[in-house]
Amino acid sequence: MTSSPSPQQHQDDNLWLEDIDGEKQLDWARAQNALTVQAYAQSPAFEALQQGILEVLDSDDRIPMVRKIGPRFYYNFWRDKDHTKGLWRRTTLDEYRKPQPVWETVIDLDALAAADKENWVWHGADCLEPDYRRCLISLSRGGADADVVREFDLETKQFVEGGFSLPEAKNHVGWKDIDHLYVATDFGPGSMTSSSYPRIVKEWKRGTPLASAVTVYEGVHEDMSVSAYRDNTPGFERDFVSRQIDFYESETWLRGADGKLAKIDVPDDSLAEITREWMLIEPRTDWAVGGTTFKSGSLLAAKFDDYMAGRRELTVLFEPDDTTALDSHSWTRHHLIVNVMHDVVNRLEVLTPPSNGKGAWTRESLGGAPALSTIAAGGIDEDENDDYFLTVSGFLQPTTLYIGTIGQGEPEVLKDSPAFFDASRYRVSQHFTTSKDGTRVPYFEIAANDLQANGKNPTLQYAYGGFEISLQPSYSGSIGRAWLDKGGVYVIANIRGGGEYGPRWHQAALQENRLRTCEDFAAVSEDLFARKITSPGHLGAMGGSNGGLLMGNMLTLYPKLYGAVVSEVALLDMRRYTHLSAGASWIAEYGDPDQPDEWEFIQTFSPYENAKPGQAYPPALFTTSTRDDRVGPVHARKMHAKMVALGYDSSFYENLEGGHSAATDNKESAFMDALGYAYLWQHLEKP
């Protein structure tokens, strides 16, 4: 086998675009933006499209989803036309039940951003149990993953003067107690991993400089990240240290009062969660322990203290089959809600552990989703009661929020989302097709009731296909207005690489098998042609991030199937991806291009590498964000520059703010969404 050039040695005419914040590079991006705006975003039709989406995003009738923090208040983060950066606000449950609750503002992010002269984007709050008075507030400049952290007092609704504060970094921080934090941050040269996340975690005492914090654990440079945290559940206070080896492998230790670490002996590729006396384990591969082999994708339960003492008594709470997979689980005080997918449609069960810790778990149904929709439930306060929130949503069904208590009858409707388009005009159907290697691949189709199977319907096919993430039915007023109401068909392809059928579905498209994502996506496209729903000139493809990589590959490997392609915040240069932003953290997903034997297969799904002259590529739009410190804008910049140099119809837009979402507020989100839809409408042939 011949050795491949390293990323540094490879001839690349567009390397100069990798200087993300260079003035020359930003001027280039602004010039490309201007061309795209002139071509696609200056018509009355575009303005109407953008305004329709913005009305959805800013609607005062949206459900304000809440999280209970402390004994009394329910908190919500809210953006609208008057609060573009957002309000962190709270109310009581009695007030929340009302059609128009009265909210108490805790943090006005617009006012804070104006006072600080920063484009703050909300990254969340971590509040200290059990009194929940002090919180750590995370704020991002312009939407980047990196953020600053400040201590906040929920009673005074003020930042704590002289309190804990961390400068901008990709911080992992959490409370140990009122006077101590676990902090993983940028401690200086050598303290970050190759993935750009913290390599060292320390315990930091209030009133002392960060430099004096005591090291708890150090990972190695090749790790993804390290962190530590305390579970402050009353009566079950425990400290944990975690080493994230790569995206799917990790090690966790129980940290004793003396600082010594006791490893939790589970497979590195499993997920382990400790709640009160119980540990739940999700193995990603078949696991032989105690004379029994447990299937990949199962959910197992063990008494945590017994397990740490060496006993291996595991109870199977869920075991997958060919058409079912575990979606999620959530504790209430006495029960476990388990959400299972059957062919990407949910059903819920309530599992109850034996009261004395011995004997069998009991189970009963909490309900299934209506046809081709999504149902989800989660405990509201797992330390206090068995109350839960439940949501039901579908492609044509606006979200409904319910509240219930396990064992006390049916849940009651708490809030209804508004309808943003006339769903009675459309139908949802699920279809299955066969991929190149014979695998059965599902997809959802949303179309008009009177759809004519004439091969001429403008159709948008969307997918993600990575990182064990599932695409399930959900309501989108934006898609309804911007695509369905204009005569389009919308298709979600549940391709391999995702989690629709558990770990096996994801693992089937890892690394050397990555092209299966493309084969699955192409099989769905070809099935749409066979069913005469659409044809290549009428079919557009769209995806973001890992889905944007998929789009780059559909463009370069299957160009004859599509009339236009939109690739958003994407990985595209797979030769250099590990050297760009947080790229090294995804080696477990894609492989390491610096290893010649792995580059042999990676180059087959590197769009930047595979774009060549003289091909029948459809028009393509690449969108990104300067402040995206996860994937970064470099991929889209270089891909667009190469496509233009090769003489192809390529467009580009780089939002100068926005992070990996490519937007910092609803107005920017509406613009970016409208740009993608407008691009497709302009290029897909109409009947």
* Structure tokens, 520: 């699955």
Which residue in 123, 335, 538, 660 is the catalytic one? 660
Is 525 part of the annotated catalytic residue set? Answer: no
Domain ranges of the chain: 174-263, 321-419, 421-683
* Structure tokens, 667: 């107005």
**Whether pLDDT at 180 is above 70:** yes
Return all residues near 513 (Cβ < 8 A) that are at least 6 apart: none
Beta strands in 475-533, from DSSP E residues, in sequence order? 489-493
Average pLDDT of the segment spanning 152-170: 98
In a 10 Å sphere around its CB, with 0-12 CB exposed, 13-18 middle and 19+ buried, how is residue 55 labelled?
middle
378 within 8 A of 337, measured Cβ to Cβ: yes
Average pLDDT of the segment spanning 454-480: 97
Average pLDDT of the segment spanning 380-402: 96
Looking at every residue in the chain, the average pLDDT score rounds to 96
* Structure tokens, 617: 């590529």
Half-sphere exposure of 636 (CA within 13 A, CB side): 33
* Domain spanning 421-683, CATH class: alpha beta
200 within 8 A of 177, measured Cβ to Cβ: no
pLDDT, residue 367, reads: 75
Residues in the chain: 687
In a 10 Å sphere around its CB, with 0-12 CB exposed, 13-18 middle and 19+ buried, how is residue 73 labelled?
buried
| Other beta carbons less than 10 A from residue 379's beta carbon | 24
Measured in whole angstroms, the distance separating CA 542 from the mean position of its chain's CA atoms is: 17
Quickly state the pLDDT bin for 3 (edges 50, 70, 90).
Answer: very low
Residue 577 and residue 604: Cα distance in Å, rounded?
14
346 within 8 A of 375, measured Cβ to Cβ: yes
**Whether pLDDT at 346 is above 80:** yes
Return all residues near 117 (Cβ < 8 A) that are at least 6 apart: none
Average pLDDT of the segment spanning 592-620: 98
Torsion sign over Cα 21, 24, 25, 28: positive
**Whether pLDDT at 2 is above 70:** no
pLDDT, residue 357, reads: 63
pLDDT, residue 515, reads: 98
* DSSP 8-class letter at 4: P
Smallest CA-to-CA distance from 527 within 600, 444, 634 is with 444
264 within 8 A of 302, measured Cβ to Cβ: no
**Whether pLDDT at 9 is above 90:** no
* Structure tokens, 659: 């992070």
The 10s digit of each residue's pLDDT in 113-128 is: 999 999 999 999 999 9
450 within 8 A of 426, measured Cβ to Cβ: no
One-letter amino acid identity for 605?
Answer: F
| Residue owning tokens 């910049």 | 637
Give the three-state DSSP class for 235.
Answer: coil
Residue 188 and residue 194: Cα distance in Å, rounded?
14
657 within 8 A of 18, measured Cβ to Cβ: no
pLDDT, residue 675, reads: 98
Torsion sign over Cα 119, 121, 127, 133: positive
Torsion sign over Cα 179, 140, 14, 542: positive
C-alpha distances (whole Å) from 225 to each of 140, 170, 220, 243, 260 are 19, 10, 9, 6, 20
Is 329 part of the annotated catalytic residue set? Answer: no
Average pLDDT of the segment spanning 294-309: 97
Residue 61 and residue 76: Cα distance in Å, rounded?
14
Which residue in 140, 478, 545, 651 is the catalytic one? 545
The 10s digit of each residue's pLDDT in 400-438 is: 999 999 999 999 999 999 999 999 999 999 999 999 999
The 3-class SS string of 446-513 reads: EEECCCCCCCCCCEEEECCCCCCCCCCCCCCHHHHHHCHHHCCEEEEECCECECCCCHHHHHCCCHHH
Average pLDDT of the segment spanning 436-441: 98
Half-sphere exposure of 412 (CA within 13 A, CB side): 5
**Whether pLDDT at 668 is above 70:** yes
Return all residues near 259 (Cβ < 8 A) that are at least 6 apart: 216
**Whether pLDDT at 615 is above 80:** yes
Q: What share of the chain is helix, strand, coil (3-state, %, to 5)?
A: 25, 35, 40
Helices 666-683 and 44-58 cross at an angle (nearest 10°) of: 140
* Structure tokens, 56: 């959805």
The 10s digit of each residue's pLDDT in 22-68 is: 999 999 999 999 999 999 999 999 999 999 999 999 999 999 999 99
What does the longest C-alpha to C-alpha distance in the chain come to? 73
pLDDT, residue 434, reads: 98
**Whether pLDDT at 306 is above 80:** yes
Q: What is the pTM of this model?
A: 0.95
The torsion angles phi and psi of 552, rounded to 5 degrees, stand at -60, -35
Residue 251 and residue 268: Cα distance in Å, rounded?
6
Average pLDDT of the segment spanning 434-457: 98
Quickly state the pLDDT bin for 356 (edges 50, 70, 90).
Answer: confident
* Structure tokens, 307: 């397990």
**Whether pLDDT at 385 is above 90:** yes
**Whether pLDDT at 598 is above 90:** yes
**Whether pLDDT at 687 is above 80:** no
Q: What's the CA dihedral at 232, 234, 240, 242 to 10 degrees?
A: -60
pLDDT, residue 658, reads: 86
In a 10 Å sphere around its CB, with 0-12 CB exposed, 13-18 middle and 19+ buried, how is residue 513 labelled?
middle
| Residue owning tokens 């309804």 | 480
User: Across the strands, what pairs with 151?
Assistant: 136
